[in-house]
Structure 1
Amino acid sequence: MKRIISQCSKELSQFKRDRLTLALAFLLPLITLFIFGFAIRLEAKNIPLVIQDYDRSPISQRYVAKLFATNQFIFVPWSVNDSVEIALDRAIAKAGIIIPPEFSRRIAAGNIADVQVLVDGTDSNNARVIKNSIKATTNDFMQSEGLIPETNLLTTRSRLWFNPARQESLYIVPGVYAVVLWIFPSLLSAIAMVREKERQTILQVYASSMTSTELILGKGLAYLIVSLGIALVVMGIGAIVFRLSFAGDPTPLLVAIPIYLWASVMFGTMLGTRTTNQNAAVQGVALVGFLTALLLSGFIYPLSNIPFPLSLLPNVIPARYFIEITRDAYVRGTGWIGVWFAELMIFAIGMFFFNVARRVLSKMQLTE
């Protein structure tokens, strides 16, 4: 144990003297938090919309006003002499609505009044959002104008069970925590391990009586302490800036944080034992760690959207399980009963990384 503490103290001393590493540890995670937290928005807003109203009646104008009252669309000036298709082709607008000349007359006569809606389908997800929004607004307009009978035989009343205010930060920011706290601790530990090889200082360890397990535990403890500091800064500032608060019992998250950070440090250590220079270590963390944590963890896209056999990979990505824990802590609040399995999986994967790193270092120590 004394050797592990000594190794940990040595790593922390080297860490404090390296200003670049300090910036990498604390400044870049905050920048990443703010970029992801403010830039990523899953709900489409400020959608440019072209309106061609050939009827120009009071009811058609009320319909147009209803569309823009949602604050989801922005008005794009467009001549009635130019086709809506041109606006879509030139990417001036994402959608266009054409109101025919007989719009108000057909409604007054009790007939069906058709309104043509053209939507840019380049982004299929955005197109679906626009289509559903226009449809919902049209139904609401018809209800308010008395064009739909009030005595329906079947009605639905929906209620958002979690996050009723539809606050996107409750979905995005907990996911950002998982990505940030996976990338930077692993990056720091990988660089630290490779630096030992480049400076040949690891040979002194091989010549001593310190085992590979003690070396990894010493380095891992040092960067676990640093990572806890990163987590405190990032999650603390994130909670203040984005106004996050716990939805239920916070203890599952508090327990998961050191376990998750340990797995991240062990992942970086494993990569560091298998690479020979810092560039390779950084690329390994960026490609293997960052891309999987960003794209295969459920951070942005639902895991159900990932096709087979790629859908098997999220089962061994710790960020996937930590996102479940953070979103439960800030949104659902179910507590241990909902996330205990995620905690066990993170611990198991972290132990796998530790054993791989230990075996690689043991083989290197025997060959020296």
Structure 2
Amino acid sequence: MRRIFAQFLKELSQFQRDRLTVALAFLLPLAVLLIYGYAIRLEAKNIPLSIQDFDNSQLSRSYVDRIFASQQFVSAPLLDNDPTLAIDRGIAKATLVIPPDFSRTIKDNDSIEVQVLVDGTDVNNARVIQNGIRATTQFFLNSDNLLPNRPRPQVVAEVRLWFNPGREEAFYIVPGIFGVILWVFPSMLAAIATVREKEQGTIVQIYASDLSAAEWLLGKELAYIAIGIGEALITLVVAALLFGIRIQGDPTPLLVGTIVFLAAAVAFGLFVGVRFISFLLIGGDFGDVTLAANQVLLQFLNISAHALDGFAFAAEALVGQAFGRRSVARLRRGAILASVWALTIVVLMACAFALWGGTIIDLMAK
């Protein structure tokens, strides 16, 4: 245990001396937090919506059919006749409650309110749900000639936001970024530190010592878990100061889960770093020419992959549009266009590599 603790202190000492690593550990997570917290926006569709229809009349069923005919919502079950239970369990993003006198009130030429309970944690979804239901309600009134000359329409959708009544987008984005930061950066730092041991030659000292491989890895694991805890604390403080994010309830599950999560992330980073060292040690036996040729081939593969990725994304978009419009002709046309363009680019790249491959390799080798 003393040797593991000594390895732990040695890792922290090396980490502290390397300014670049310190910057990667603490400045990059903050940059990611700010970028995602302020800039990211999401598109919402296929929103699960549960219905509680107390009226159960032909007119109320027609209204519900209009809601789902917009293809913006999908039906979600209503649990135990409780309009809030499906939202609490994450099964539905909203619940539409139709009162028992819906049909009679409309036939009496009076106004009536339907209640819409919306999960406000995802602000974009909440906004889409609110606007979608109100727009569909307006369309329902127009199509069924239920718009008499009155300042207030006969059916009014009253929206109530749950969990995030102020519709703060940071309450939805920032907690998710917390998990991203704790996975990406501790694992990356652990992998970099492991590979750097080989590059700087300090791993020879480990070979010469009586420290076992398990003790060496465990010392690194504990060191970068401690660094990850520091990143987590800084992220929580910045999230509280800039975005108003607070821990609600018992913090014990969050603390325990964070440590377990960090342990898995750092272990993954150590695995990547150790495998990379093994690759270098084994690859070195093949000679410099073989390693250089392998790197050139990898660069060719990366260039080809990046050149064809754009057509793959375009094909996904075209196929998605065709599927949404239920158009087989658009689907076929999009698939053919993407395939033809991709094949054309592949042929041109193959010709370029065949004609000027030597020149390209010389440029890469310089």
Question: Shorter-chain TM-score: which interval?
Answer: 0.3 to 0.5
Higher relative contact order structure (alpha carbons within 8 Å, sequence separation ≥ 6): 1
**TM (normalized to structure 2)?**
0.47
**TM (normalized to structure 1)?**
0.47
Name the larger-Rg structure.
2
